[in-house]
Amino acid sequence: MEKLKHKVRSDVFESLIDANIRSLSSILLCNKTELCQTTKLDLNTIDEVIKETSLIILSGKVYTANCVLNQQYISTGCPALNAIMRGGIPLNGITEIVGSSGVGKTQMCLQLSLMTQLPLSLGGLGKSVIYICTEDIFPVKRLSELAQIFSLKYKNHVKIDFEDNIFLEHIADIAQLKKCLFNTLPHLFTVKNVGLIVIDSIAGVFRSENLDIKYPSRSQDFISITSKLNKLSKKYNFATICINQVTDNPVTDTTEPCLGLAWSNVVTRRFNINRFFRSQVRTFQVVFAPDLPNKECKFKITREGLIGTE
């Protein structure tokens, strides 16, 4: 930070310190929206701070393609979905899965929870899973069914007690979620090797029984939650999935993800699942992602899990 102090205006540097930003890496780990809101600086100033920070860290070094580490993914267990995502769910940023009720979001996350426990050679990470429920009761019966199928499918490769490696937490509101992220999880990471965190669903902790929603406060909660998840992910190397519901927009007569633009700005990638009317076929679509084009594929949910139809 001492080098940055000589590269930016004194008032800008003081704003960074006042916002408790005391390292160069913390500046690059935060997104622009978060930096603007926590430091009260405008976007142009933040762009300049990020630029100077990047130059200091790089220090004029030139890197070749061989220096870039390969991205790690958790395979979905479905080749069609893996092809769309170029490998599966990546271990960086916040992955959001959006869709209406009953479309298959939880089914996909259950399968990912089992895939995460498989070794690298089989598309997993060989790690445990934390599953945070905020709405419905966790589907234990369906998990047990999938776990038995996986045990038979991979019996010649590994012996894993799949259900014993998924840690459940039921959360009712935003206060409990923050307590879980800031207190419970850091202690759990010291004794368990976690490869995936699922929040099912993120909209559940922000639902209000009245119309008096404090949007500035809610936006700060979005930033606080995603920042903590990103920092923990950077330290312990795991993937984060937030399931989100959809809501009707009477102005445009369309459905759109809950929590609005403020939430959309803090997620790294958004995948959408739709279901054809009176059909078992689902459509999986890349809505936005920093490294993926807007594509889609079709799949079905069977007793054995997710299966592509093309």
Q: Are residues 22 and 136 in the same domain?
A: no
Q: What pLDDT shows up at residue 219?
A: 87
Find out whether 309 and 299 touch, Cβ atoms under 8 Å. Answer: yes
* 64: in domain: no
pLDDT in tens, 206-220: 875 445 677 778 888
- At a CB cut-off of 8 Å and minimum separation 6, what does 290 contact? 93, 268, 269
Q: What pLDDT shows up at residue 62?
A: 62
Q: Are residues 113 and 158 in the same domain?
A: yes
Q: Are residues 135 and 79 in the same domain?
A: yes
Give me the domain span that covers residue 147. 73-308
Q: Which two tokens stand for residue 28?
A: 């690059």
Helices then strands, counting H and E runs in the chain, come out as 12, 13
pTM above 0.85, yes or no: no
* 168: in domain: yes
Q: Are residues 83 and 42 in the same domain?
A: no
Q: Are residues 245 and 268 in the same domain?
A: yes
Q: Are residues 146 and 261 in the same domain?
A: yes
The one-letter amino acid at 38: T
Q: Are residues 115 and 8 in the same domain?
A: no
Give the DSSP letter string of 63-81: --GGGSPPPPEE--S-HHH
298: domain CATH number is 3.40.50.300
Q: What pLDDT shows up at residue 136?
A: 81
Q: Are residues 52 and 88 in the same domain?
A: no
Quickly count: other Cβ atoms within 10 Å of residue 116's Cβ.
Answer: 27
Among 35, 58, 81, which residue terminates a domain? 58
The Cα–Cα gap between 87 and 115 comes to 13
* Residue 90, SS3 per DSSP: strand
Q: Are residues 31 and 109 in the same domain?
A: no
Q: Are residues 109 and 183 in the same domain?
A: yes
Q: Are residues 17 and 51 in the same domain?
A: yes
Mean pLDDT by 10 residues, the chain (310 residues): 88 88 80 83 90 80 59 94 95 95 95 97 96 92 97 94 96 93 94 96 76 75 93 94 92 88 93 89 95 94 92
The Cα–Cα gap between 75 and 90 comes to 9
What is the domain count for the chain? 2
Q: What pLDDT shows up at residue 209?
A: 45
* 63: in domain: no
